[in-house]
Amino acid sequence: MEFFSNIIEAFSFPELVSQDGGKVDGLVIAVHLLMLVLFLGWITYYFAALWKFRSTRNPKADYKGVKNKNVTNSVEGAVIVAELILVVVATYYWNFYVNTADDYANVSAINEGSEEKRKKDLHVVRVTAEQFGWNAHYPGLDGRLGPQEKALVSADNPFGIVRDHVDGVDDIDVLKSDIIVPMINNHRVENPGETDLKLGELLTSMELKAAEAKFGPGSFEAVEDGTVRSVTIDLTSKDVIHSFKVLPLRVCQDAIPGLNIPIHFKPTKTGRYLITCAQLCGDGHARMRGVIKVVTEEEWVEWQKSESSEDSSSVQASVSAADEKA
């Protein structure tokens, strides 16, 4: 029994720590079942052809073959129609659903307020691949990523962040170290009561505590709905094509120079998970590994506070030093 258990374990899926990762596993299973059906169909046809056209039944070969092209034309027409559906319809909907996370419609911090106050990049991480490591650029406490300029790229500023911009002054950059992302559980407002909360609004655990402190216990009803907020990674590369692959999260996406490609996932378990490069990218490809670290919401906020203050202090020190030289 142990032998068979080891075989089953070897062919089973790796650990799943993503809320929607089961859909990816389901797709893999569906594709394999389709391949099994096609395999059995072609094997059946193969042996049927061997039996029907065996030499004892057809001692004299017919070199002219079938002259009617209806079957060939029908198959070619079906292939053309399928390709048109894939290109025109499937590609459009794939782009529509994949590029933007769909679970922020009821998050006030992102969807309300003026352009200056809206935290549009609250859980977005810009990841830049290079030979042979992974670099990350995070928004600060303002929840907004600062603009970038190629002319500002240097050893001290590898992302080219415009540090004197209001959105970039508290941004965080981490070079070839753990990529930190939060696991944030949603609490849905079921009864806003007399508060200014909205029915169906999503609150994080910390936002729920803040709302209870502001309006008082029992002034509204909110329940944990079992969902987790998406984390978006804007992926690019600074040299060659790499591929960002984290098996437990069920994400795998090429990082292409000159393109920012968004991927999103909903982590359901804290921990450290291996990042591998799934694209041959040079002599050091085998050692291009990293770690994506999933932390709780509280740990995420504390980390942001500490890193933002350090980055802001270093920027202010650099500006002061430049002023003194001037």
pLDDT in tens, 6-65: 766 767 888 899 998 888 888 888 889 989 998 998 899 899 988 888 888 777 777 776
Q: 312 pLDDT band (50/70/90 cuts)?
A: low
Kindly report the pTM of this predicted structure. Answer: 0.77
99, pLDDT greater than 70: no
Question: CA-CA distance, 119 to 104, in Å (whole number)?
Answer: 11
The predicted pLDDT at position 96 comes to 64
320, pLDDT greater than 60: no
167, pLDDT greater than 70: yes
250 phi-psi bin (left φ>0, alpha ψ -120 to 50, beta other): left
β-pairing verdict for 172-175 and 124-130: unpaired
Q: What is the CATH number of domain 108-184+229-325?
A: 2.60.40.420
Question: CA-CA distance, 2 to 178, in Å (whole number)?
Answer: 37
Q: Which of 66-75, 102-111, 263-272, 283-292 shows the lowest mean pLDDT across its residues?
A: 102-111
183, pLDDT greater than 90: yes
The predicted pLDDT at position 227 comes to 87
β-pairing verdict for 289-296 and 179-183: parallel
- Please choose, from the candidates 184, 256, 185, the residue with its C-alpha nearest in 3D space to the C-alpha of residue 225: 185
Give the pLDDT mean for 242-248: 94
Give the pLDDT mean for 70-88: 83
Question: CA-CA distance, 303 to 3, in Å (whole number)?
Answer: 46
Look up tokens 């070839």; give the residue.
176
Please state the domain extents for the chain. 1-57, 108-184+229-325, 185-227
Range with the largest mean pLDDT of 84-88, 104-108, 136-140, 270-274: 270-274
Inter-CA distances, 204 with 26, 185, 207, Å? 29, 6, 5
